[in-house]
A = this chain, B = another copy of it.
């Protein structure tokens, strides 16, 4: 038995589709590349997998460097293998997607580097590499996932109102959802609990504030969209 790493192997990039919810829209975090290839183009933040690094370690390294972010929802998306996806040579991409709340870090230390920027998903610039297709897979996955698993909360602050969650779902799915049916469905799932407080400040009725119910045993719920 001998080590086999002397044989040439493809490089392995980890690329991150970072979703954030801002101003009522689903946004994507993009990086403006300083070096070739695709210099001055927008791309997904990414890095090469180091020899003794786990995928998730690389993800954390990327987001810590670019955003000072330590905690976020992270899930493996897909692995891409086109031969020409990187002009420098054969490079696979193991892509992940992350859900973060932009508001929770912009004020903290290690804030966003000036080469990264949020873009609404419906108005993205041309992307370098094969990143447009990675984004396309990620959007499809997120839209499928949010119907069955409580991931929407990851995009909001810890305390949120039902109208906020409702608007988030409409923005992510790109459809309108009946307020009353949405409310009933979400509340019946047990995934959120009322805090008894209300969000004040608006000049109209103050909505109730809810929190994600961390104590709940994971289960699927069905949010059927007609």
Contacts and interface: CB of A to CB of B under 8 A. Distances in A.
Interface stretch (A47-55, A65-73, A123-131, A150-158): A47-55
A42 B49 CA distance: 29
Nearest to A92: B12
Interface stretch (A76-84, A113-121, A172-180): A76-84
A83 B54 contact: yes
The copy count of this chain in the complex is 2
A81 to B, nearest CB: 5
Given A4-B11, A4-B88, A7-B11, 18 more contacts: A1-B37, A2-B88, A3-B89, A4-B48, A4-B89, A5-B9, A5-B89, A5-B90, A8-B9, A8-B51, A9-B11, A9-B51, A54-B81, A54-B83, A55-B81, A76-B78, A76-B79, A81-B94
Interface of A: 1-5, 7-12, 36-37, 48-49, 51-52, 54-55, 76, 78-79, 81-83, 87-92, 94
